[in-house]
């Protein structure tokens, strides 16, 4: 019994040692990656960002900075919108920390056009969280984050690392350092053939301007006064 315990103890020690080496490597790698990324949000204001004035989600969202994070809320009631970088990016690795209220449908836009056609990493809890979709465009191959439940921290900050490369894009997503999917599209899905575009964050619309015959509303798409938050937004452009 003692022997068994001793063996077990040694095994645990070995596992701990192995873990510490692994963790050390991961941290070192992480720091190097971090240093190669350039902040694209200054933590104080929205310099370098603008609101899409042609998105069907809305054109007047309540987007502001609070406690070092970009906050997206609807404004006025039922009107969401899209916040875009002023700059366009072609091939890049994007790092961003995300904290989202439940029952609010949004997303991270990749190579977005000015009116918000984009490859989109969905942000929705509950929902198709961290899946790859097209926003206002059909994409050839979606991405399914089947493992998201095992890494997701509800009502807390979660890190997203997204790599997008190629005119016919290959897109890879890691959430909290765990790979969710790696998708090589067979063609460039943008309708005007764009190979670069803006980084964007979306708040979904939930109500029309007025009750409309034959129309519907989506009060479940963004709960009243809900918010998505984004911080530590960094990008590394790839050759």
Partner 1 sequence: MLLLLLLLSGVTYAQAPTYTNSVGMEFIRIDTGRMIVGRFQPPYPVPDDTVRGMTRPMVMWMGDGRPYSAKEFALARSMAERDAMPGFEVVISKPFYIARFEVTQEVWQRVMGTNPSVFQGGEIGDTSQHPVENVTWEDVQEFLRLLNQVENTTRYRLPTEFEWEYAARAGAEGDIPWSETQRVAQLGGKTTRPVGQKEPNAWGLYDMLGNVWEWVDDFYNEKIFADPVPPATGKLHVLKGASFVGDVKNATWFTHAGGPGNGWDVGFRVVMEIEEE
CA 184 to chain centre: 18
Which one of the spans 87-95, 111-119, 148-156, 227-235 is the region binding partner 1 (CB under 8 A)? 111-119
Pull the structure tokens for residue 102.
Answer: 């439940």
**Of 133, 34, 39, 130, residue with least CA distance to 85:** 39
Which one of the spans 13-21, 49-57, 88-96, 171-179 is the region binding partner 1 (CB under 8 A)? 49-57
If one asks whether residue 88 binds partner 1 (CB under 8 A), the answer comes out as no
CA distances (Å), origin 5, targets 8, 9, 17, 175, 185:
5, 6, 18, 37, 52
**Residue 185 CB coordination number (10 Å):** 16
85, 113, 158, 202: which one binds partner 1 (CB under 8 A): 113
- Nearer to partner 1 among residue 24 and residue 76 (C-beta): 76
Which one of the spans 8-16, 86-94, 118-126, 152-160 is the region binding partner 1 (CB under 8 A)? 118-126
- Nearer to partner 1 among residue 199 and residue 233 (C-beta): 199
117, 158, 202, 203: which one binds partner 1 (CB under 8 A): 117
- Nearer to partner 1 among residue 95 and residue 200 (C-beta): 200
If one asks whether residue 76 binds partner 1 (CB under 8 A), the answer comes out as yes
Pull the structure tokens for residue 42.
Answer: 């200054």
CB of 167 to partner 1, least distance (A): 17
CA distances (Å), origin 145, targets 33, 131, 166, 181, 193:
23, 5, 22, 6, 27
The C-alpha atoms of residue 47 and residue 237 are separated, in whole angstroms, by 20
3-state helix, strand, coil in the chain (%, to 5): 15, 35, 45
Site for partner 1 in 120-159 (CB under 8 A): 124-127, 136-137
Site for partner 1 in 150-209 (CB under 8 A): 191-192, 205, 207-209
**Of 118, 94, 64, residue with least CA distance to 232:** 94
If one asks whether residue 56 binds partner 1 (CB under 8 A), the answer comes out as yes
Which residues contribute to the site for partner 1 (CB under 8 A)?
53-60, 75-79, 102-103, 105, 113-115, 117, 124-127, 136-137, 191-192, 205, 207-221, 223-225
């Amino acid at each position: 019994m003692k022997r068994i315990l001793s063996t077990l103890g040694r095994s645990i020690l070995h596992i701990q040692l192995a873990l510490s080496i692994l963790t050390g490597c991961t941290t070192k790698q992480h720091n190097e990656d971090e240093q190669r990324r350039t902040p694209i949000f200054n933590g104080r204001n929205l310099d370098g960002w603008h609101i899409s004035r042609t998105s069907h989600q809305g054109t007047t969202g309540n987007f502001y900075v609070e406690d070092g994070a970009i906050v997206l809320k609807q404004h006025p009631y039922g009107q969401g919108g899209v916040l875009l970088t002023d700059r366009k990016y072609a091939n890049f690795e994007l790092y961003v920390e995300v904290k989202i209220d439940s029952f609010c449908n949004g997303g991270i836009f990749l190579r977005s056009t000015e009116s918000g056609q984009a490859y989109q990493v969905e942000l929705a809890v509950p929902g198709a969280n961290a899946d790859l979709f097209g926003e206002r465009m059909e994409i050839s191959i979606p991405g399914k984050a089947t493992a998201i439940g095992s890494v997701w921290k509800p009502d807390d900050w979660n890190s997203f690392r997204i790599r997008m490369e190629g005119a016919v894009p290959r897109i890879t997503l890691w959430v909290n350092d765990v790979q969710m999917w790696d998708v090589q599209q067979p063609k460039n899905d943008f309708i005007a053939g764009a190979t670069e575009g803006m980084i964007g964050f979306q708040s979904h619309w939930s109500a029309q301007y007025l009750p409309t015959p034959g129309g519907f509303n989506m009060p479940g798409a963004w709960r009243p006064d809900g918010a998505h938050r984004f911080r530590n937004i960094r990008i590394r452009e790839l050759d």
